[in-house]
Structure 1
């Protein structure tokens, strides 16, 4: 069997898993919403400050999970043809500063062009070759490094979502992405409501801290899942869909609790192989298809995080990502 046939066989092997369990889809949605509700109660009820702080952290982490559920809905893998789901996730997209119009456009482009040099930076972190970086102007180099800087990712709330997802899309195409303005407005209104409900404590712990936590984790996951030691990039002529999934998307090892909070998005190579697989079935696919257990890995350990952040440009001669 040649390589192309093996690749087709691997994709075919995932097809039986690309079917949702409707009851489980609703169950995971409502149970996650219940945790979010509990966190809000912990923040705004007359509780001790340490309870409010823990609830704020819980809210930030659980928003990551609900974002993955939203992400699956946008991939049409769960809860399609439901009016309630449509309104729920449309509202959540606005609330989380990732309206459906811009999220679908940028994220679909990411899936179609992941790991392609020069065309993968829409919906992804920019990647250039070492040669192109060295020939760029100082301003271009600074902008490139800023987009990939650890602090930019840590402050993903400001730079990636408010700035990149909403403001940039609105400025580039206001007619197409008018919902970005609604998202920014809703975020401001939510801040005002939380301030009126709980003062500065309510605003900080109900909106600002959870947003910083959720967006920092989300921004880093998206970075590390495609910028890790051993990642592969190719030009358009050398690009294949299977390589983009298996060589350019990582399996991020986590403990069970973090897999829950991140909605199993650590099984990212499987998600890129078949985006129609619901998030709650990804571990099942990993267990039952041995070929998928050979993915390149990273983790949330400090040494792996540092290793990912050291990578800056693609070295064509060495065929790997390198630092400067």
Structure 2
């Protein structure tokens, strides 16, 4: 898709057409238990193999390769947790609940914290007036102009690529675990438990495996996985032709089609990212299992011309450069573009 395409180039659906579109996605929300368990089994088998490769070889470059593979498989395993908490993967299974709640804690995404913030995100994507809980804060150009220097600094820091690069300590360890636990320890006790367990596992790996294994089996894969995961989340709602709306014009379908990108990537990265690149389909109906998202897109014409981004460095840079929403221009712009309009 041409990066110069703007929101005005996309026709809006009527409210009735939007309701019909959402209704047509519902058949794809039907789960296949055998397929679901196959996806779970192969994912965790791949994760065990990647951890072994990052831990056991005596030659450290081979362990680094294992670290990279482990980071990618961790992203996929996170998508499985994400789908389970949406009710789109093995809902109602006690075994699945035990597996995914345990894995969520190990991934520093306590289910209660994640569900509350992520559900808020789905209910408010592209709504300019909504709070930023569960997502990156997005200001309008007017808010940027009126903010104090300290407020601007906080906004810049939150959205800075360096913060995404260090999402492991900032977004996950701190943002999803330490901060919620300190604010409401009784409500979010599992967040405190996740931190304690993470520290215990880290110390155990250091003690029994040494510094080298600790770096290749924990620090590097978690750092890479969380950094890529944070960027994927950012770029899926912060891309050149994204369209944000005021409450009076906001609808669930418009948020899915206009403010959720499709990540065009090959089958290998689609596997590692659990098809989360079909983000416009996921936001339209989060009850669709990740393995049925391509099927839904292929079957519904309105979903086949999405607002697209890729992992090409050019497109990554284009997403990272966008800072605030300019209502007059109907698009995201850089800070310097806002300053030039004063």
TM value normalised by structure 1: 0.97
The correspondence for 1:287, drawn from 292, 295, 298, is 298
Report the equivalent of 2:134: 123
The correspondence for 2:79, drawn from 49, 56, 68, is 68
Find out whether 1:168 has 2:199 as its counterpart.
no
Map 1:101-120 → 2, pairs under 5 A: 101-120=112-131
Which whole-Å CA distance do the structure 1 matches of 2:288 and 2:45 have between them?
A: 24
Shift of 1:321: 0.8
TM value normalised by structure 2: 0.92
Which whole-Å CA distance do the structure 1 matches of 2:141 and 2:185 have between them?
A: 35
1:237 match: secondary structure: helix
Which whole-Å CA distance do the structure 2 matches of 1:91 and 1:112 have between them?
A: 26
Map 1:80-159 → 2, pairs under 5 A: 80-159=91-170
Shift of 1:86: 1.0
Report the equivalent of 2:262: 251
Deviation string 1:263-312 (CA, Å, 9 cap, x unpaired) is 00000000000000000011111111121011100010111111111111
The correspondence for 1:241, drawn from 240, 252, 257, is 252
1:247 match: secondary structure: helix
Shift of 1:46: 4.2
8 Å contact 1:118–1:128 — kept in the other structure? no
Report the equivalent of 1:206: 217
Shift of 1:120: 4.5
Consecutive aligned runs of 4 or more in structure 1 exceeding 6 Å deviation: none
Deviation string 1:221-247 (CA, Å, 9 cap, x unpaired) is 100000000111112222111110000
Which whole-Å CA distance do the structure 2 matches of 1:170 and 1:45 have between them?
A: 35
Q: Which moved more, 1:91-100 or 1:168-177?
A: 168-177
8 Å contact 1:59–1:210 — kept in the other structure? yes
8 Å contact 1:116–1:233 — kept in the other structure? yes
1:314 match: secondary structure: strand
Which whole-Å CA distance do the structure 2 matches of 1:306 and 1:43 have between them?
A: 30
Q: Which moved more, 1:15-24 or 1:36-45?
A: 36-45
2:259 match: secondary structure: coil
Which whole-Å CA distance do the structure 2 matches of 1:197 and 1:45 have between them?
A: 12
Map 1:300-311 → 2, pairs under 5 A: 300-311=311-322
Report the equivalent of 1:25: 36
Which whole-Å CA distance do the structure 1 matches of 2:57 and 2:304 have between them?
A: 48
Which whole-Å CA distance do the structure 2 matches of 1:120 and 1:264 have between them?
A: 27
8 Å contact 1:19–1:277 — kept in the other structure? yes
Q: Which structure 2 segments of 5+ residues have no match?
A: 1-12, 336-342
Shift of 1:116: 0.6
Report the equivalent of 1:36: 47
Q: Which structure 1 segments of 5+ residues have no match?
A: none
Report the equivalent of 2:340: none
8 Å contact 2:55–2:216 — kept in the other structure? no
Deviation string 1:125-180 (CA, Å, 9 cap, x unpaired) is 00111111111111110111111101111111111111211122122222211111
